[in-house]
Amino acid sequence: MFKYIIRRLLQFIPLVLIVTMIVFLFAYLAPGDALSGEMLDPNIDPEVYEEQRAALGLNDPVYVQYWNWLKRAAVGDFGMSLNFKGRSVSDLIMQRFDNTLYLAMFSLVVTLVVSIPIGMYSARHKNSLLDYSGTTFAFLGLATPNFFAALLGIYVFSFGLGWLPTQGSVSSTGLSGLDEFLSRIHHLVLPGITLGLAGTASYMRYMRSEMLDVLGSDYIRTARAKGLGEKTVLYKHTLRNAIIPIVTLLGIEFGTLLGGAVITEAVFNYPGLGTLFLSSVQNRDYPVLMAINLIAAVSILIGNLLADISYAAIDPRIRLN
């Protein structure tokens, strides 16, 4: 197991390098100097302009630029934001990263907590009422645009019933400890659920079909033939096997969540990376854009890594090869 993790980590490095190269390439293509965030005034004297470019290293060969950028990026220096005057990109990102992380985690938890039991139940009780409702929900969940669900959620739960806040990540400043935690959770409910909606729907379907597959497999028949009780068959033998493919999907789901966060955060004015990303796109704040891309990609890589490791943890077959 340990060796496996080491091996995966080693495989991780070249991928991260490739990702940085792509981000670098994007930034290189983008107008201005998206790497340092220094916008040169093109109106100045051409000689001075050239000097400044040279000073910023913009005239170096691409690979030298990449290397320099990589060195800076490695220590979290992504240059300055074009839009937020005087703010460094890493500062902006640090400020919002945890919010998005909470949001993604919350919605992941909601997704799993809802989809796995329902998926299991649906498979056990095929064609039961809950199965049908689950399937219907899954279909609707996949067909409803994320933002629209969010709006309906605001309409019903915030303005209709007045249960949940619509904006922001916390109710007021100066909270701490449990109060702050509760306030944050309270603010996460709507965005978290809407963000996880599509995931929940598809996981439910996955879980159901995986369960069905596993329930029909030979080793479940063996387990029954051994005289094991229904509970053991279900929770010990079926669940663990059915969850294996779901776990591999989690790595991908993490990426979907980060992407979806752009929209969900926009609806709820949630101060996370998504809203930062969106405003950066709107303002062509390339340094921020690239840094978020890089962070997202690395997060997904880490997500995949974690998924792979948990995959290996529950599936002994993986460790061999």
228 binds another protein (CB under 8 A): yes
Site residues (CB under 8 A) for another protein, limited to 291-310 = 292-293, 296-297, 300-301
Q: Give the shortest CB-149-to-another protein separation in angstroms.
A: 10
Query: By CB under 8 A, is residue 246 in contact with another protein?
Result: no
Q: Give the x/- contact pattern for another protein in 109-148, rule: CB under 8 A.
A: -----------------x------------xx-xxxxxxx
Q: Which residue has the tokens 């999907």?
A: 249
Q: State how far the Cα of 65 lies from the Cα of 232, in Å rounded to an integer.
A: 59
Residues 49-108 that bind another protein (CB under 8 A): 83-88, 95-96
Distant-in-sequence, close-in-space partners of 262: CB < 8 Å, separation ≥ 6:
274, 275, 277, 278
Q: Could you say which of 188, 277, 307, 308 contacts another protein (CB under 8 A)?
A: 277
CB atoms within 10 A of CB 223: 18
Q: Are the CB atoms for 318 and 4 separated by under 8 Å? A: yes
Q: How many residues bind another protein (CB under 8 A)?
A: 104
Cβ atoms < 10 Å from Cβ of 295 = 20
Q: What does 133-182 look like in DSSP terms, one character per residue?
A: HHHHHHHHHHHS-HHHHHHHHIIIIIIIS--S--SSSSSSTT--HHHHHH
For another protein, the binding residues in 204-223 under the rule CB under 8 A are 216-219, 221-223
Least Å distance, CB 61 to another protein, is 22
Taking CB under 8 A as the rule, does residue 225 contact another protein? yes
Q: Which of residues 5-34 bind another protein (CB under 8 A)?
A: 7, 10-11, 14-15, 18-19, 22, 26, 29-31
